[in-house]
Amino acid sequence: MILVSHPTGNANVRALLLGLENAGLLAGFRTSIDAGAGPRLVRCLPKGLRDELERRTFPIPSHKIGSRPLLELCRISSGRLGWKWPTRHETGWASVDAIYRSNDKSVARSLGGLKGARAVYAYEDGALETFRRALALSMMTVYDLPIVYWEVARSLNCEEAQRLPAWSITLPGNRESTAKYERKTEEMLLSDVVVCPSDFVARSLPRQLPRAPAVVVAPFGSPCPSPPRPPRYPNRRGLRVLFAGSMSQRKGLGDLFAAMKLLDRPDVELVVMGSPVAPMAFYRRELPGFIHEPPRPHQAVLQLMRSCDVLVLPSIIEGRALVMQEAMSQGLPVIITPNTGGEDLVEEGRTGFLVPIRSPRAIAERLDWFADSPEETQHMGQLAQRKAEGYRWDNYGALISRSLKEQLAARRPIGQPER
C-alpha cells in the first residue's frame, strides 16, 4: 500500500490516485485543500475563489484523504488581496515553498502511525522529511520529478541568460537559493524509484548516485478530443499561431518572437496565452504586434486553441508540457523542441515538426511552410488529434501502478529478516 503526498493536486495527481485506488494500492492521500470535504463552505465563497477551490477534488474515497487547508487558503487569499510579502518566493510564510515544506513535515510526522503502508509517493520540493522518516521505517520512497533535474535546468538557465541577456528577467529559476538546490539533491539521493513524465527528464537524472533508483517514464494523458473542425479554407484569414504557457525564455518565447520577426508575414498572427513574468512593456518592445490572451479556465483554453492553426512551443526547460497534448486534442499540429519532453508526439511532417532549441530560423521556416500549405495544415491537425487520443490518463495511472507493484514485490516485507 502506498501513501501519496502533494500539497495542491492537479490532473496527473488525480490520475495517479485513481490508478493506485483501482489497483488496490492506495493507502491514502495527504494534501492541503480537499474541496470535496466541505462543499457547502466552498459554495459560500466568492466566484473566483470558488472556481479555484472546486478544482481541488479527488476521485478517491473521502476517508483516504487528509487535508490541512489553512496555510494554502492564506496563500490564495494573499494573492487575491495583492499582498506580496506573505507569498514572497521561498521566504514568505505563505509562499509555495512554505506550503510544500509544511505538507512534507506533516506527512513525515504521520508515518509512524500509518498502518499497512509500505511506500510513500511524494513530489519534488515536498519529499525530503517524508523520505527521511520513511527510510527510517524501511518504507519504499517514490519520487515524482515533473520537470528536468535541477542541475541540468540551472545550466540551461545560465546559458540562456548569457545568450539572451534581455530575457534573463523572465528566468526566475536562476534565483533559487543554495538551500533549495541542496534539498532537491537530498530528495533524489533518498529515492528508491523516480517517476518521470518524459525521456527528456529521465535523461537529466544524475548518472552516479549511491542509491541508483529505478526509473519509470509515464507520459501524461490528453483531454477528450474535440469534434473535427470544419475546413477553414479557402476562405482563410491567414495562419493563426498559438503559444501557451508562462511568458518566459524557459519556454523559448524569445526565440518565437525572433522567428516571427524573421518571418515578417502580415498573414501570420501570433497569439500568446499566458501570465507575464516581466512588465508587458518588455514584451511589446520585443515584438509589438502579438495578441495577448490571459490565462483562463481549462475549457476556455481548449476553445481558444480551436481558433488557432498550429501550436509553437520552443521550450528550453520542461518536463512534459501538457499544453502540447491539449492543443493536439483540439486539432492543432505542433512545432516543438526535444526539450519539451514531447518528442514521441511528433511524427515528422504528419503531426508536426521537431526543431532544435535556440533556433528561430528553423521555427520561421516551419511557420512559412504552414502558412503556404493550408490544406496540409488542416490534414496534419487531424493526424495530431488522433495521435493525442493514444495518450490517456487512465493509462498513465495504470502504468505507474503496475511499475510500483513490481517494485514492492521485489522488496522484503517490512520486518522480515534477510535470508
For residue range 249-297, what is the model confidence (pLDDT) as tens digits? 999 999 999 999 999 999 999 999 999 999 999 999 999 999 999 998 8
Is the pLDDT at 171 greater than 70? The verdict is yes
The DSSP annotation for 186-225 comes to HHHHT-SEEEESSHHHHHTS-S--SS--EEEE-PPP-PPP
- Please report which confidence band the pLDDT of residue 419 belongs to, taking 50, 70 and 90 as the band edges: very low
- The answer to which of 35-44, 109-118, 340-349 has the lowest mean pLDDT is 35-44
- How far apart CA 278 and CA 295 sit, in angstroms, is 15
Name the β-bridge partners of 293.
Answer: 273
Q: What is the pLDDT of residue 416?
A: 47
- Whether residue 265 contacts residue 328, with contact meaning beta carbons closer than 8 Å, is answered with no
- How far apart CA 328 and CA 305 sit, in angstroms, is 9
Say which residue the cell 528561430 belongs to. Answer: 360
User: What is the three-class DSSP state of 123?
Assistant: strand
- pTM for this entry: 0.89
Q: What is the pLDDT of residue 414?
A: 47
Q: What is the pLDDT of residue 45?
A: 60
State whether the Cα torsion 46-49-52-56 is positive or negative. negative
Share of the chain above pLDDT 70, in %: 90
Please, what's the b/e burial string for 158-176 (b: 16 or more CB within 10 A of its CB; e: otherwise)? eebbeebeebbebbebeeb
Per CATH, 2-221+393-409 and 239-389 having the same topology is answered: yes
> Which of 40, 106, 47 has the alpha carbon at shortest distance from 72?
106
- Top-tier CATH class for 2-221+393-409: alpha beta
* Domains of the chain by residue range: 2-221+393-409, 239-389
Q: Mean pLDDT across the stretch 173-195?
A: 91
Q: What is the pLDDT of residue 42?
A: 55
Q: What are the backbone angles phi and psi of residue 293, rounded to the nearest 5°?
A: -120, 125
Give the best-scoring range by mean pLDDT among 13-22, 51-60, 223-232: 13-22
Output DSSP code: residue 276.
B
Which tops the pLDDT comparison, 53 or 183? 183
Is the pLDDT at 413 greater than 80? The verdict is no
Q: What is the pLDDT of residue 244?
A: 97
Identify each DSSP E strand in 156-307 by its residue range: 193-196, 214-217, 239-244, 268-273, 291-293
Pairing mode of beta strands 2-5, 26-31 = parallel
Start-to-end CA distance of the chain, whole Å, equals 24
Q: What is the pLDDT of residue 279?
A: 95
- For the record, the C-alpha cell of 4 comes out as 501519496
Is the pLDDT at 5 greater than 50? The verdict is yes
- The answer to which of 87-91, 194-198, 228-232, 354-358 has the lowest mean pLDDT is 228-232
H/E stretch holding 122: strand 119-123
Q: What is the pLDDT of residue 83?
A: 86
- Second CATH level (architecture) for the domain 239-389: 3-Layer(aba) Sandwich (3.40)
Q: What is the pLDDT of residue 236?
A: 55
H/E stretch holding 162: helix 150-163
Count of alpha carbons within 13 Å of 17, Cβ hemisphere only? 22
Give the best-scoring range by mean pLDDT among 68-72, 379-383, 412-416: 379-383
Is the pLDDT at 39 greater than 60? The verdict is no
